[in-house]
Structure 1
Amino acid sequence: MKMFRTAAVTAVVVGLTAGSFSAATAAPAPKFLTAKQLPAAPTPWTAGPVQAGTAKEDFCNAKVAPKASSKHRVFRTEADTGAHQTITVLPTEAKAKALVTKLRTSVAGCLARIQRQYPDLEGTTRHHGRIDIEEGAHVYSIDTHDPEVGSTDISLFSIGRDGRTVTVVGWGQMGDLVHAPLKGFQKTTRTAVAKLY
């Protein structure tokens, strides 16, 4: 369960800097979130470098998006809170739309997959609705409790699209949904999708 907690805490919601995703991509590169655009935390956020591939910290989606056309950024605080963003540029809008569907399905079924590995784990997944920005974004929470060690973890995820570009943002810390900055995360999600281009 410690491994899951570490992933959940570090997990979250990812961004891009200048540079193209591939030599064939003529359009400007989408932009990542900055540390200041994440929900408020007890200690300041630090943004890691933009790296190729998907974020391994994204325990629900790391294997869903194609690594070759994805980049990610991980964010950390000095406290027990972490976040990440992944941006994937697809060849067509149809493929981007299909990826959004796969990612949403992956998040919705993530807790059940974890519970197969940790049968004693208790938890709840919630869909917090659609955000009306570009082609839209959806926000989810996964609230877990491990009765064996007495720990609780809360993770927030969002999946958004602008044309043929998809972004996933994740956020996590110890605690439960009551203590999570849901409104702040929804604002971060809106910013993440809006600033892609």
Structure 2
Amino acid sequence: MLQGLAAAIALVLTAPGFLGAADLPPHANSPWHAGKVTKGLPEAAPFCLEGVLPANGSWHRRFGTDLDTGAVQISVRTSSDSAAARLTRSLERRVAACAGDWLREHPDGEASSKDYGTLPVEEGAHVYGVHTSVPESEPGVHLFGIGRDGSTVTVVQWGQMGDLSDAPVPAFKKTTTTAVNRLDP
């Protein structure tokens, strides 16, 4: 009993495996730079995911290029496989509704989304894209990879200026698969 409890505590105190800069979709004009893996949530929640990710059990890592492209990976160790499945469904619902929610807050803007489907990795992963634009501003495109391995959930959010046609979907699917495969250190 005590040995099992000690193993569970050690798991919560250690970060799950994370992506490296080379795992992100290649950028045509700049290398990726990776921040350090940090306990807790990032200061600013990723676009579309405000208020959904729990701080408890969370770890994150930010990525950036020298230009306009950025990404963040957030992984959450939950209390059980069923809690992880609930969190995954919550994240997927939020991203699937993001374009519509954004338009309600920005009625003068444009937004669209695309479901790029599921990936056969561990307990599964799903990739989505969201495009937003307001008049007299640059459009933005975001890709989201959401997946889980047992009781650990990860979400990778990638973004840059552009629209859905500018998104590196096949490369991002590989990134998402790698992220889920690395969860178990």
The TM-score normalised by the length of structure 1 is 0.84
Tell me if the contact between 1:70 and 1:86 (Cα under 8 Å) persists in the aligned partners.
Answer: yes
Give the aligned partner of residue 30 of structure 1: 16
CA distance in 2, matches of 1:176, 1:79: 16
Tell me if the contact between 2:72 and 2:158 (Cα under 8 Å) persists in the aligned partners.
Answer: yes
CA distance in 2, matches of 1:182, 1:25: 37
Matches within 5 A, 1:104-115: 104-115=92-103
The CA deviation at 1:57 is 4.5
Q: Which structure 2 residue ranges, 5 or more long, are not aligned?
A: 1-5
CA distance in 1, matches of 2:132, 2:147: 24
Tell me if the contact between 1:140 and 1:158 (Cα under 8 Å) persists in the aligned partners.
Answer: yes
The CA deviation at 1:23 is 8.9
The structure, 1 or 2, with the larger RCO (C-alpha pairs under 8 Å, 6+ apart) is: 1
Q: Which structure 1 residue ranges, 5 or more long, are not aligned?
A: 1-21
CA distance in 2, matches of 1:174, 1:29: 31
Q: Amino acid of the residue matched to residue 110 of structure 1?
A: C
Runs of 4+ in 1 over 3 A off after TM superposition: 26-29
> Which segment is superposed worse, 28-37 or 159-168?
28-37
CA distance in 1, matches of 2:92, 2:74: 14
Give the aligned partner of residue 59 of structure 2: 71
Count residues in correspondence.
175
The CA deviation at 1:100 is 0.4
The CA deviation at 1:24 is 4.7
Q: CA RMSD in A?
A: 1.7
CA distance in 2, matches of 1:126, 1:108: 8
The TM-score normalised by the length of structure 2 is 0.89
Tell me if the contact between 1:48 and 1:75 (Cα under 8 Å) persists in the aligned partners.
Answer: yes
Give the aligned partner of residue 154 of structure 1: 141
Match of residue 38, structure 2, among 47, 51, 55: 51
Which one has a bigger Cα radius of gyration? Answer: 2
Q: Percent identity?
A: 45
What are the superposed Cα offsets for residues 128-167 of structure 1, whole Å, 9 maximum, x if unpaired?
0000000000000001222x21521110001000000000
CA distance in 2, matches of 1:49, 1:29: 11
CA distance in 1, matches of 2:166, 2:45: 21
What are the superposed Cα offsets for residues 59-101 of structure 1, whole Å, 9 maximum, x if unpaired?
2114212102111111011011000000000010000000001
Q: Amino acid of the residue matched to residue 187 of structure 1?
A: K
Instruction: Give the secondary-structure state (helix, strand or coil) at the position aligned to 1:189.
Output: helix
Give the aligned partner of residue 16 of structure 1: none
